[in-house]
Amino acid sequence: MNTNEEKKALVKQRYSELALSADELKGKCCCGTNPAISPKKVFTIMSEDYSGLKGYEVDADLGVGCGLPTRYAGLKGGDTVLDLGSGAGNDCFIARAEVGDTGKVIGIDFSPQMIEKARKNATKQGYTNVEFIEGDIENMPLPDNSIDVVVSNCVLNLLPEKDEIFKEIYRVLNQGGHFCISDVVLNGVFPKEFTDSASMYAGCIASAIQREDYLGEIEKAGFKGINVARTKRVIIPDDVLEEHLDKATIDKYKAGNVGIYSITVTGIKN
């Protein structure tokens, strides 16, 4: 996986598989196991419990998030909300409950299988103000200054060009609009064998970068008032490590002063 396109293609393949076989593979793409190796094991290491939230739809919850971005997004009635990497629609439906009938929610995802699943879930609920579009969040098919709030849940870490994504978020937001993103970041220098693992790439660390570099990309895109609203450490079970890595790499990883974290961060377009 030497190119960004190869990395994106792998992630797209894994998430498309998740959409097609959601019941069997639920929870396995984000910090999950390799379905080809152990199809019955399920690890939802980072996923949060959405079940008590208004708007929750069980068929839209694939267990691959790493936070609750809508909790910190400051959504209000009438907002137009964009969810990046919307999957089967979980965060979109939660956001829809916040913005009400006068608001609008748009989900964008690059997997046509996910888009199809999300649209079916929206139709089942009878929603007329939730729309799902197929597209690349590094080059969104949306006009400038058209969104009030951008949310995303454990998606940007999967993609390599975070600078382009944050530039796109800035472009589509209205003046005074803001984002709230839950994502995975790293702390410390990881073994190269760990970060280069193709199977780990489509798992929890994917294209995750150092926390300070991540926040730096947000600042470079022009956002102000950047705030980390929540931080949670992610512990990868030994079972998952052993499916993806050899013993030498695992030992090197555990011996290092490194950490994987889920953060929820906000920023404003002034």
CATH (domain of 14) = 3.40.50.150
At residue 196, the pLDDT reads: 67
At residue 20, the pLDDT reads: 67
* Number of independent structural domains in the chain: 1
* Residue keyed to tokens 């290491």: 45
At residue 151, the pLDDT reads: 98
- Cα–Cα distance for residue pair 64/174, rounded to 1 Å: 29
Count other Cβ atoms within 10 Å, centred on residue 239. 11
At residue 4, the pLDDT reads: 73
At residue 25, the pLDDT reads: 44
- How many DSSP H helices and E strands does the chain contain? 10, 7
**Strand 147-153 relative to strand 80-84, pairing:** parallel
At residue 157, the pLDDT reads: 86
Q: How do the pLDDT tens digits run along the chain, 270 residues long? A: 457 777 777 777 776 777 666 544 444 444 443 333 333 333 345 567 787 888 888 888 887 788 999 999 999 999 999 999 999 999 999 999 999 999 999 999 999 999 999 999 999 999 999 999 999 999 999 999 999 999 999 899 888 889 999 999 999 999 999 999 999 999 988 877 776 665 554 455 667 899 999 999 999 999 999 999 999 988 888 887 887 788 998 898 888 888 889 999 999 999
Which pTM does this prediction carry? 0.85
Range of the domain at 213: 4-268
142, containing H or E segment: none
**Strand 224-234 relative to strand 259-268, pairing:** antiparallel
Backbone angles phi, psi at 211, to 5 degrees: -55, -50
- Cα–Cα distance for residue pair 150/94, rounded to 1 Å: 13
